[in-house]
């Protein structure tokens, strides 16, 4: 049986590795248009600093990614205590996100009116099956919570705009708690009580914490996030072929024909693990309706700017994860991560690595800026926010013209259309971060699920 995986990002690499490790008899080929594997997982050494062009890690609360690491023989590194301290730039100053109910009451991040409004969450009505993130948060927690807390979170995760993002697709756990319990606060209280009872029954009297937000500790590797994609590529060996740009797909009898400029690959099963805009282009002559549905998922531009400094040149102690900025502050960056404060080996002793994101759904004009203007813009912002004393020793700009897929209101309907069209093409599959989760954990978990689905089907042949 011949299997072709198109795309060698974390999704395609994981899927191909799982298929080959579980069914060594399969003839698996991975085709990647770029000259390197890894997709948006991309780590680079620049003048003694370890820069991440894309994601800088994953949370350790999902077992499949850790299981994959163990299988590959690579050792994850968990972030230190600084990662638990996060800041919001609000009302012209950096303010620590409260880490407990007590610290939340004392915090000036929300006004007393905003804090009192949160109590109304207990009696807020249930919403429709799906709605925008903004509508959900305003109804349940109030406008101030949206503007000061949720808006920057949406920027940090999706570079997105909560006024058009789908709550069910972007934050399914939060919507699930509302639907099942009628209130987020009531849900957390009940779940905490149930877990406490379970711990007591098992003889464990430790502290129980429950949150509607994703749990776990941010995790990466000593040499950066790319360690995992490099390990997958190494395991695949000659099955991975870079520099092969797929131009289209056709079907002859019961066999798929995957067309590249160099040659055509025959396959019984084909998986497109590329960004949807690429998949849409490659499938436009094969299935126009499927291609159009894929093209309906948008991506905003994002630029990542890495600055390397000597620590004495930065006034802020950098004692945390970093900060995000609500759109209401009218700043020109989304936020900055202090990568060297949370992971080892990101900067040499006495130095600091700052990684800033700009652009996104609410600042599309940034895509027209040249690198020099982006750098000066970021530097101007960080000088006032963090007290930078000089220009950085190291500067590196990474541009993603189509960065993060946006799960807008109606995303679920798009997925239904895609699934319906795929039923017409047995043996054709789609995976990646544009469908059901954008993070490394989501991509790995979805690859595990798809591998199981494919292998179950092949077992019947």
Report pLDDT digits (tens) over 292-308.
Answer: 999 999 999 999 999 99
Q: Provide the token pair at 281.
A: 């282009």
Distances (CA, A) of 425 to 270, 271, 287, 288, 422: 10, 12, 9, 13, 5
CA distance 295 to 290: 9
Total number of residues shown for the chain: 461
SS3 for 6?
strand
Q: Alpha helix locations (H) across 245-353?
A: 276-283, 288-295, 339-342
Nearest to 329 by CA among 155, 97, 135, 138: 155
Greatest alpha-carbon span in the chain: 69
User: Any idea which architecture 300-400 has in CATH?
Assistant: Alpha-Beta Complex (3.90)
* Nearest Cα to Cα of residue 246 among 5, 3, 1: 5
The DSSP result for 304-327, as a single string, is: EEEEEEEGGGBSS---SSEEE--G
Sequence-distant (≥ 6) Cβ neighbours of residue 383 within 8 angstroms: none
| Distance of alpha carbon 299 from alpha carbon 103, whole angstroms | 37
Tell me how far the alpha carbon of residue 110 is from its chain's centroid: 27
144-178 confidence digits (pLDDT tens): 999 999 999 999 999 999 999 999 999 999 999 99
Three-class DSSP labels, 240-252:
EEECCCEEEEEEE
Residue 336 to residue 392: CA distance in whole angstroms: 15
CA angle 86, 89, 93 (to 5 degrees): 115
As annotated, the residues of the chain forming the CATH 1.10.3110.10 domain(s) are: 110-201
Neighbours of 182 (CB within 10 A): 14
Superfamily of domain 2-38+232-298+406-460: FAD/NAD(P)-binding domain (3.50.50.60)
Query: Looking at the chain, which residues constitute the CATH 3.50.50.60 domain(s)?
Result: 2-38+232-298+406-460
CB 14 within 8 A of CB 275: no
Q: Count the neighbouring beta carbons within 10 Å of the beta carbon of residue 311.
A: 15
Tokens at residue 106, please?
Answer: 């004392």
Q: For tokens 């974390």, name the residue.
A: 10
pLDDT at 270: 98
Q: What is d(CA 32, CA 245) in angstroms, rounded to the nearest whole number?
A: 6
Count of Cβ atoms closer than 10 Å to residue 106 Cβ: 9
What's the pLDDT score for residue 206? 56
- Strand runs labelled E in 7-156: 27-32, 43-46, 49-52, 58-59, 77-78, 86-90, 93-96
pLDDT digits (tens, 9 = 90+) for 384-413: 999 898 999 999 999 999 999 999 999 999
The CATH architecture assigned to 110-201 reads Orthogonal Bundle (1.10)
Predicted local confidence at residue 205, as pLDDT = 56
Read off the DSSP letter of residue 412. Answer: H
Residue 415 and residue 436: Cα distance in Å, rounded? 9
Q: Is 393 exposed, middle or buried (0-12, 13-18, 19+ CB in 10 A)?
A: middle
DSSP letter, residue 132: B
69, 77 in Cβ contact below 8 A? no
Give the whole-angstrom CA distance, residue 156 versus residue 321.
12
| Range(s) within the chain of domains with CATH label 3.90.660.20 | 300-400
CA-CA distance, 252 to 237, in Å (whole number)?
29
Q: Which residue carries 């060594």 as its tokens?
A: 24
CA distance 398 to 303: 6
Sign of the alpha-carbon torsion through 450, 456, 457, 459: positive
| Alpha carbon distances (Å) from 404 to 72, 156, 304 | 27, 11, 13
Alpha helices in 310-426 (DSSP H): 339-342, 371-386, 411-422
Tell me how far apart the alpha carbons of residues 240 and 80 are, in angstroms, rounded to a whole number.
35
- The tens place of each residue's pLDDT in the chain, 461 residues long, gives 999 999 999 999 999 999 999 999 999 999 999 999 999 999 999 999 999 999 999 999 999 999 999 999 999 999 999 999 999 999 999 999 988 777 888 899 999 999 999 999 999 999 999 999 999 999 999 999 999 999 999 999 999 999 999 999 999 999 999 999 999 999 988 888 887 777 777 766 555 454 444 578 999 999 999 999 999 999 999 999 999 999 999 999 889 999 999 999 999 999 999 999 999 999 999 999 999 999 999 999 999 999 999 999 999 999 999 999 999 999 999 999 999 999 999 999 999 999 999 999 999 999 889 999 999 999 999 999 998 989 999 999 999 999 999 999 999 999 999 999 999 999 999 999 999 999 999 999 999 999 999 999 988 87
């Amino acid at each position: 049986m011949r299997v072709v995986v198109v795309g060698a990002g974390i999704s395609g690499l994981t899927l191909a590795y799982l298929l080959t490790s579980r069914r060594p008899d399969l003839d698996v080929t991975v085709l990647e248009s770029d000259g390197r594997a890894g997709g948006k997982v991309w780590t680079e050494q620049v003048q003694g600093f370890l820069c991440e062009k894309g994601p800088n890690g994953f949370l350790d609360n999902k077992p499949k990614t850790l299981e994959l690491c163990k299988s590959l023989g690579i050792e994850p590194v968990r972030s230190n205590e600084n990662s638990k301290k996060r800041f919001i730039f609000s009302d012209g100053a950096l303010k620590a996100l409260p880490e407990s109910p007590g610290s939340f009451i004392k915090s000036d991040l929300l006004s007393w009116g905003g804090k009192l409004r949160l109590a109304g969450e207990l009696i807020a009505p249930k919403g429709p099956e799906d709605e925008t993130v903004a509508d959900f948060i305003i109804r349940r927690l109030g406008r101030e919570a949206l503007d000061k807390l949720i808006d920057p979170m949406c920027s940090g995760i999706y570079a997105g705009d909560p006024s058009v993002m789908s709550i069910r697709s972007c934050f399914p756990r939060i919507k699930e708690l509302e639907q099942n319990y009628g209130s987020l606060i009531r849900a957390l209280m009940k779940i905490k009580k149930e877990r406490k009872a379970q711990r007591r029954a098992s003889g464990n009297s430790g502290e129980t914490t429950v949150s509607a937000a994703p749990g776990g500790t941010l995790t990466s590797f000593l040499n950066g996030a790319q360690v995992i994609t490099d390990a997958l590529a190494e395991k695949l060996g000659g099955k991975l072929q870079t520099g092969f740009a797929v131009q289209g797909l056709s079907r002859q009898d019961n066999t798929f024909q995957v067309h590249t400029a160099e040659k055509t690959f025959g396959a019984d099963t084909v998986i497109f693990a590329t960004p949807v805009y690429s998949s849409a282009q490659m499938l436009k002559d094969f299935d126009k309706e499927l291609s159009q549905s894929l093209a309906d998922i948008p991506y905003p531009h994002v630029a990542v700017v890495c600055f390397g400094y000597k620590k004495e040149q930065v006034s802020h102690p950098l004692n945390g994860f970093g900060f995000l900025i609500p759109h209401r502050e009218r700043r020109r960056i989304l936020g900055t991560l202090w990568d060297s404060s949370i992971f080892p080996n990101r900067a040499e002793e006495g130095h600091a690595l700052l990684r800033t994101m700009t652009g996104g759904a609410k600042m599309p004009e940034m895509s027209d800026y040249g690198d020099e203007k982006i750098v000066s813009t970021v530097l101007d912002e960080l000088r006032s926010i963090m007290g930078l004393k000089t220009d950085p020793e190291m500067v590196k700009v990474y541009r993603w013209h189509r960065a993060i897929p946006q799960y807008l209101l109606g995303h679920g309907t798009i997925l239904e259309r895609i699934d319906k069209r795929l039923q017409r093409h047995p043996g054709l599959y789609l995976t990646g971060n544009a469908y059901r989760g954008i993070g490394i954990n989501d991509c790995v978990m979805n690859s595990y699920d798809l591998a199981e689905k494919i292998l179950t089907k092949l077992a019947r042949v």
